[in-house]
Amino acid sequence: MSRTRRLVRVRGVVQGVGFRPFVYRLATDLDLAGEVGNDGDGVFADVEGEPGQVQAFLDRLCRDSPVLAQVDEVTAAEAPVRDAAGFHIVATRGGTATTVPLPVDTGPCDDCVAELDDPSDRRYRHPFINCTNCGPRYTIIRSLPYDRPTTTMAGFLMCRACASEYADPGDRRFHAQPVACPDCGPRTTLLDPDATVLARDEDALQGTVQRLRDGAIVAVKGVGGYHLACDATSAIAVGELRRRKSRDDKPFAILVSDIAAAARLAHLGPAATAALASPARPIVLAPRREDADVDAAVAPGLVDVGLMLPPSPLHVLIARGVGRPLVLTSANLAHEPMVHDDAVAMATVAPLVDALLVHDRPIAVRCDDSVFRQVDDGGLAAIRRSRGHAPRRIPVPSSHDVTLAVGGHLKNTVTLVRGGEAVISQHVGDLDHPAALGAFHQAIDHLLAALDVTPTLVAHDLHPGYASTHAAQALGLPTVAVQHHHAHVAATLAEHGRRGPVLGIAFDGLGLGPEGGLWGGEFLVADLDSSRRVGHLVDVPQPGGDAAAREPWRMALAWLEASMGRARAEEEARRLDAEGLDARGLDVLAVSRAAITPTTSSVGRLFDAVAALLGVCHTNTYEGQAAVRLEAAAEMATSRADPDRDLPDGVVDVDGPVATLDARPLVSTIVQARDRGEGPSVVAARFHRDLARATAELACVLAARADLSTVVLGGGVFQNRLLTGQVTQRLRRSGLEVLVPRMVPCNDGGLSLGQAVVAGAAASGR
Ligand code: ZN
Ligand code: ZN
Ligand code: FE
């Protein structure tokens, strides 16, 4: 019978994910001869056999590839038949595989969980069980090539049983770098806060489970850092955790053992369900069920609850052992990044907890939990891309090599673009604190080392005061400053593989405009190269600068004075003063009028003002609190909302050279409704609808003027699913295409991606 031979090349995420054993099994199944191996470009295979079988091989190569693989390209070149016999996995060719993308951290696969549960398996209840289809990756890699000695598993000498699985192409653990078992792998230890060893291994697990059941707070060392855990059904435990961790109201995520348990706590659509169970094991925010058995203090004043399935086998054992929903929240001091270092944990986390469950596999790089939110159409929107998603690549419309973008100041991430692909780093956080700055530099170093590249261009925010801007300028490379809201719009464009031009709507808390203005409610005609401001929210004073972002009542007074005049604002200030502001209300109004006080067009600050005017939130204990609580209040009212109505006169003004969205008439009607005794929920819902309507009406006019048919949303305000849903619906009804951020966070976590593609477009001067 005639034979045929093909030289096959596979590119993408194909190393460290079990691709060679997969090819080996596939080829052997189909009676093909030849070989398979890794090289600097991915995986190569030389296959020879009956033509139909070779075709079947090529067909199944993509279709049946391992779960963690991401096949970008398969090529097959014809070659002369050699009549070879047998199929082999051959040694890696061409030294290190440096252009090959890295795999991400992955929750336990079904096969590993089955072994975890099997008393006859040698890895029964082993908290570090993993295989080529699952386990830690990005957080254990110290340098390239990705091989056991360059990971934090280097210190663990494989036992004979593990070594033979590791070497066996037919085994699920063939070349699984973190392979381990109870005889040779990492071990858990339960510690007292003073570092006294309480128990080890299975006893440590049992001790942890018992303590959590008894209401204790336990620090747990996870995949990308330490968490604090406690019984989420216990008001005492949750209250105590809040008291010890900080005084804020930041929502806690909940760890549940499985989907059924998650579905008992929240209304989950198919996308949320799939995401929860996905290998990345993110936190998914979805509306809490009325009868959910978790304490209300888990997420004060919010509609959503954040859920997570066990991100590692250790968490599987804890969640099942306790048998109740558990709070699992990042361990950190206020405003500092999540703790991932053992010594730091003993110094800073131990004093907060009753015990620590630790293990001896070091975490090479910190990686917070990823967060997605269930949105109106049942889909999901990224709030934070981190563990399980970093450093996954996304294709982008940028050809410039190699651009590093350093992000903004809050919710920082960094992005590297090369070869038409972007790699967004894990979440770094707010760069206020020295520890966060350290994390920022570590994230850049880890990304550059893991990808083995040197940037030729660095993009940063226009704000000269950002720590990220300073860092970018210190690198000694050509830099490009990118305007904040242009970057937000570009991030959404990049996610959708588009270059523009479009009408961009960028609503957020704050970004510097080109002339130094405090922007945050912007309508831009933009493409990747450039942007032009064609409309904005009217400016009002931002009394106290940054303090206004922490204290929404300040913006309430500024908006009230702008909308209803001095006397009405002073009356409100006196009322607030009497309620405990100690004369600061009148002081702030004086500041608000001062000529040196900057004005802002920020929609985020408008949300703050409305939340404070309605008594929903006067002080932010975490970023965006007033806005999320206002949205939650509105969501509680949507079922009994009053019918659509026309906007008050003058809200949309398109007469000037730059159009404005004037929210003053909206603020007046809000205060009037409040004073008539209407409940905050109904008024909040009406505010969302009016703002959405005004935004859409203005956008329609501006798009038509610029002859554009596509509108792009960006900026942290669009985390608000109510506003985003309504704006999108209205624009689509008007016949416009709307691009909404989904995979990439609309908040400043996506800023670095936008910066990178804008800088790349500028540099390549297309
Ligand atoms: Zn596995
Ligand atoms: Zn072993
Ligand atoms: Fe922003």
Q: What's the CA angle centered on 396, arms 11 and 515, to 5 degrees? A: 155
Of 145-149, 520-524, 660-664, 731-735, where does mean pLDDT reach its minimum? Answer: 145-149
How many Å apart are CA 156 and CA 545, to the nearest integer? 52
Residue 76: strand, helix, or coil: strand
Ligand nearest to the CA of 135: 1
CB atoms near residue 548 (< 10 Å): 29
Axis-axis angle for helices 484-495, 751-764 (nearest 10): 90
Residue 116 has pLDDT above 70, yes or no: yes
Ligand nearest to the CA of 745: 3
Average pLDDT over residues 256-269: 97
> Which ligand has the shortest distance to the CA of 602?
3
Q: How far is the CA of 155 from the centre of ligand 2 (A)?
A: 13
Q: Which ligand is nearest to the CA of 129?
A: 1
Residue type, 637: A
Give the ligand whose atoms come closest to the C-alpha of residue 163: 2
Separation of 335 CA from ligand 2 center, angstroms? Answer: 40
From 757, 104, 15, select the one nearest 425 (Cα to Cα). 104
The CB density around residue 247, as the number of other CB atoms within 10 Å, is 8
Q: What angle do CA 391, 395, 396 make, to 5 degrees?
A: 110
Q: What is the pLDDT of residues 460-483, one digit of tens each?
A: 999 999 999 999 999 999 999 999
Q: How far is the CA of 720 from the centre of ligand 3 (A)?
A: 14
Residues with CB under 5 A from ligand 2 (ion): 159, 162, 181, 183-184
Separation of CA 117 and ligand 2 centre (Å): 18
Distance 748 CA to ligand 3 centre (A): 5
Ligand 1 centre distance from Cα of residue 281 (Å): 14
For 22, residues 6+ apart whose C-beta sits below 8 A from its C-beta are 64, 65, 66, 69
Confidence of residue 640 (pLDDT cuts 50, 70, 90): low
Confidence at residue 639, expressed as pLDDT on a 0 to 100 scale? 57
**Interval between CA 411 and ligand 3 midpoint (Å):** 9
* Closest ligand relative to 172 C-alpha: 1
Contact 152, 125 (CB under 8 A): no
Percent of the chain with pLDDT over 70: 97
Q: Give the pLDDT of residue 97.
A: 44
- pLDDT score of 355: 98
Q: What is the pLDDT of residue 641?
A: 55
Ligand in nearest proximity to the CA of 153: 2
One-letter amino acid for residue 682 of the chain = V
Q: Which of 102, 586, 107 is nearest to 365 (CA)?
A: 102
Q: How far are the Cα atoms of 683, 728, 732 from residue 645, in angstroms, in the given order?
A: 13, 18, 19
The CA 283 to ligand 3 mean position distance, Å, reads: 22
- Output the CA 255–ligand 1 centroid distance in Å: 20
Count of residues in the chain: 766
Ligand 1 centroid vs 206 CA: distance in angstroms?
A: 23
Query: What pLDDT is stored for residue 545 in this prediction?
Result: 87
What pLDDT is recorded for position 94?
Answer: 63
- Residue 575 pLDDT more than 70? yes
CA-nearest of 584, 586, 594, 570 to 619 is 584
**Across the chain, what does the average pLDDT equal?**
92
Q: Which ligand is nearest to the CA of 522?
A: 3
Q: How far apart are CA 601 and CA 604, in angstroms?
A: 9
Distance CA 329, CA 601 (A): 34
CA of 322 to the centre of ligand 3 (A): 40
Map residue 424 onto helix, strand or coil. Answer: strand
Ligand nearest, relative to CA of residue 126: 2
DSSP helix/strand/coil, 304: strand
More confident residue, 398 or 731: 731
Structure confidence by residue, pLDDT tens digits, 313-353: 999 999 999 999 999 999 988 778 899 999 999 999 999 99
pLDDT, one tens digit per residue, over 139-191 is 998 877 778 888 999 999 999 999 999 998 888 898 899 999 999 999 999 99
